[in-house]
Structure 1
């Protein structure tokens, strides 16, 4: 229980209903309304268990007129009776959620909590949570409803991460509910946050996050998808798969010369221009000068040494979250 201390200026202490420092620390912005129910030093309020204190703050914040009349029901009624009388529109499970809530509960947090309790998927996550806090509420609130699943939320610890997941889902599926649910089923199989974001990157597609800056030809194919890069890495026996982070960060692009065969890398220089990087044959063996000249001519023809497009901000953020 918070210590009941008097740290306010003497002028404030002269106002019986002004919240003291302990009440402000415990209830935040709801302290003013609570102080109108229980004057200083708010002894009855601090005698409550945490769930009753949170519920009392919400009820007092919504009330009008003489708040002193709320003291008796808030002190003596059961929590479910208080909810039925003063929060009749609250969804089922509110009392149980308040009992497992850890930390301060603001009015805005309360609105998010009740919204999630009324959501088919959100309430399932809250029911399975051993502990509910503000971070969980805001992460759940930011996630698309289709992704509010316990196994996914376990890898989404903050609202910032949830926002990034939501942006990725929007890029991958748009507003279509069925593809979102199918993606959620895939993401549920992830075993870590990095694994979840790598699955999300694959769902969006490298060809969307990092489209080839130079067009291909009948003899030159862009390696624009994860599957194409993995296949080329196996056939050429090289470390091409490890270059996916460079693709996502907009620092490199890769092509395969058909028939030769060879893998061509173009990279951004310090001025942001696309220039030819490495050109390697099977198992990183150097290719012939003739093929090198043909590749260079093609890239120059299509403006390889011109200002490249601005890197995709979402692709960079997803790459960082995926540990790349």
Structure 2
């Protein structure tokens, strides 16, 4: 047997022995299912999370959610006609829900000493879920550091206009934001390194999306006014419509859109390509500019009240209108 094969075998044995010792150490220090996270400094299993449910009996007209930094947050319609929150506490970490001046607030008090940890790939789902009864709230705000936000709440009255709140704001630094099957008035979202995805939703007044290094993904989405901004992510949309204006700005990402309708379209990119497919019957006046790419656009109409302007520095531009 060669020396290299012997070295590989010896190294493999040491790795297996090391893993066994690590698991034995964790077990001795209190590891037990379903806890799937380990404190590497003390080689101890982290304390279990305990699920709690709190009923919100006081009336409120606005919602302000800011839970534990890494916890995922979901907002959805109540399934039993009452307002309530499901969340998880653990040793040194407690959450509090209360109504103050007509605002439902949810806050986290974290007194834990944070050490390096490792997840073993299983464990309890510690997502915070807010269940809201159907009414039009003045504002709904969700803020989290690294957790994902899943927004599914929608209020659909029998009379127009429909909407879930006068203003909805969703913010996370490194988590994803997912929105589906809602009707709202104004929605603004912001994430630094996560993606934003919206499907089957409409926004009466404004839809404003900000993603620094994440992508923006839209499907069957309508808005009064739509604004999309991303630094290094791409923007992809299908069956997108805006009653007034549609603005999209990206620094180094591509733009690929199927636009059902918009009075005014303004798309700009620094180093990405732009590909637009217009299903609208409007006669647009087209303008396009790129410094180092190719341009393929329709002739369009002269002096039209409907404008479609596209600019990129180093990418190709293609616009199609059947």
Q: Considering the TM-score relative to the shorter chain, is it more than 0.5?
A: no
Bigger proportion of residues as strand: 2
Bigger proportion of residues as helix: 1
| TM-score scaled by length of structure 2 | 0.27
